[in-house]
Amino acid sequence: MRWAVILKLIREFTRPRLSYKRSLLNPAQLFIISFMGLIVIGALLLMLPKATYGGINFVDALFTSTSAVCVTGLIVVDTSSFFTPLGQTLIMLLIQAGGLGILTFASYFSYFFKGGSTYENQLALSDMTNSEKIGEVFTTVKRILTITFLIEFIGAVLIFFNLDKALIPSFSERIYFSVFHSISAFCNAGFSTLPNGMMETSYVYNYPLQFIIVVIFVFGGLGFPIVINSVRYIKHLIARYILWFVEKKNNYRPWILTLSNKINLLTTGILIVLGTVIIYIKEYYNVLGNHAGVGKIITALFAATTPRTAGFNSIDFSQMHFSSIIIIIFLMWVGASPASTGGGIKTSTFAIATLNYLSLAKGKRKIEIFRREVADISVRRAFAVMSLSLLVIGSSVFLISHYDNHIPLLDIAFESFSAYSTVGLSLGITGDLSNESKMVLLATMLIGRVSMLTILIAFFKKVKQANYHYPSDEILIN
């Protein structure tokens, strides 16, 4: 009896100590707060006297910081003439931190500074990095950082060698230009140190430079799991063919390329090709009229890929045909691939929705592709993401129309889709918006970056799965 009392006392006194290392915030809340904290810090830094040439008010600083951290690219002041080299460097660092995810950075470096990481943090990070095993979490993060800095370095080198020395005589300025645009492109931010971006007269016909930037932001928009999985698949192919030629053995391994990878790569490829062809045909004599031959193709490719959250512009989107602008809005809404630096509802979401209505039309009860069945939870998430995106974008359009009712609806809708999908393209109204509308766009960018579903998960308490089922019943749809 005495030992039972002692054990009871020990258990009661040690209970608080056992829960000492539990996080007060769930991963979703930590993710959102990390982004909001970085945005506020970025805004305060951009308000430093040496960050701008003539000072900046808090709303514009907050908007610029949000646009950089959420890797959007919408600007209310000209980056090249308004911000000093220090201010531009701060924007570049905010883009890099936002592109990789502040939580990834914090978790990765705390792992080294603290000599390890809690089990709960590893669970949170495994969800962010799409790691299949908890033990692979930090290996995956290392790969993410390695791939990011490697692609950005290669991109900066290629940009550097395709710059006209007559335009930027200084060697150090050419290096800075290359690094800034490589980071901005890979993170799908769309910020540029040029007054008119890639539309600048001296750069608009530099097709090799434009093509390099396209390749960089397409890589950034593919997503880290896809890039890592694709690298693994390419390694397997090389090893397989080497073994075949040397030892005549077939070392084939099925399903190295995952179903998610296949769907996203296929959807990305289709959207790039269809978008380029449509813009090439529709804008041949319009915004592409000043280009010729290969230049038309590369400019059309640039215009078709940049809406998928990159945000750079080599043409004036406000001069495009109305029908072409609708295509651009659609491409912005779809956006990039999951777990990438881009935004939008994501290619996998759009692909699942398309496969769903095709399977319904055929009378199927499940979605099948590549001899695999898409999990029901993926379908539910896809439609939740789509409906929530339209709800947020619709609210943004409504509020901006209320605060700035003199602006055409198409311009407002374009701006709202661009903000939610963290694209950064505009029909030229961003700088003319009222402070209230700027705050609406600011919130839209943040929600688009962290996703509305993540916000709901952060504030809704998880319920335990019950072991009972109610009788199911069908609801009339149409």
Query: What pLDDT, on the 0 to 100 scale, is given for residue 9?
Result: 46
**pLDDT for res 126:** 56
| pLDDT value of residue 393 | 95
Average pLDDT over the chain, rounded to whole?
82
Residue 355 vs residues 263, 299, 376, 462: alpha-carbon distances, Å: 10, 31, 13, 30
Residue 120 falls inside a structural domain: no
- Number of domains into which the chain is organized: 1
End-to-end CA distance of the chain: 69
Contacts from 44-50 at CB under 8 Å and sequence distance 24+?
Answer: 45/90, 46/83, 46/87, 46/90, 46/91, 48/86, 48/87, 50/84, 50/86, 50/87
Q: 312: closest CA among 183, 429, 438, 441?
A: 183
In a domain, 216, yes or no: yes
CA angle in degrees (0–180, nearest 5) for 470-474-477? 140
Helical H segments across 283-346, by residue range: 294-305, 322-334
| Of residues 264, 274, 456, 465, the one with CA closest to residue 346 | 264
Secondary structure (DSSP) of 173-238: HHHHHHHHHHHHHHTT----SSTTGGGSTTTTT-HHHHHHHHHHHHHHHH-HHHHHHHHHHHHHHH
What is the spatial distance between Cα 303 and Cα 300, in angstroms, rounded to a whole number? 5
Asked, for residue 320, whether it belongs to a domain, the answer is yes
Distance between CA atoms of residues 120 and 9, nearest Å: 27
Condensed to tens digits (0 to 9), the pLDDT of residues 399-444 reads 999 999 999 999 999 999 999 998 888 888 888 889 899 999 999 9
Question: 17 lies in a domain?
Answer: no
Beta-bridge partners for 369? 372
Residue 278 buriedness (CB in 10 A; 0-12 / 13-18 / 19+): middle
Residue 308 maps to a domain = yes
Q: Return the minimum-mean-pLDDT range out of 128-132, 252-256, 306-310, 410-414.
A: 128-132
- The backbone torsions φ and ψ at residue 305, rounded to the nearest 5 degrees and listed phi first, read -95, -30
- The pLDDT assigned to 21 comes to 46
Residue in 88, 74, 91 with CA at minimum distance from that of residue 438: 74
Amino acid in the structure at residue 291: H
Length of the chain: 478
Interval 202-221 mean pLDDT: 90
Show the domain range for 265.
26-114+133-459
> What Å distances lie between residue 436 and 4, 189, 442, CA to CA?
65, 23, 10
Is residue 307 in a domain?
Answer: yes
Q: What percent of the chain has pLDDT over 90?
A: 31
Helix (H, G, I), strand (E, B) or coil at 342: coil
Strands 368-369 and 372-373: antiparallel
pTM of the model: 0.85
Give the tens place of pLDDT for each residue, 348-400: 899 999 999 888 888 888 888 888 888 888 888 889 899 999 999 999 999 99
Assess whether pLDDT exceeds 60 at residue 236. Answer: yes
What local confidence, expressed as pLDDT, does residue 386 receive? 92
CA distance linking residue 204 with residue 206, whole number of Å = 6
pLDDT band at 467 (very low <50, low <70, confident <90, very high): confident
In eight-state DSSP terms, residue 162 is T
Residue 376 lies in a domain: yes
pLDDT beyond 60 at 23 = no
In a domain? residue 473: no
Q: Name the β-bridge partners of 52.
A: 83
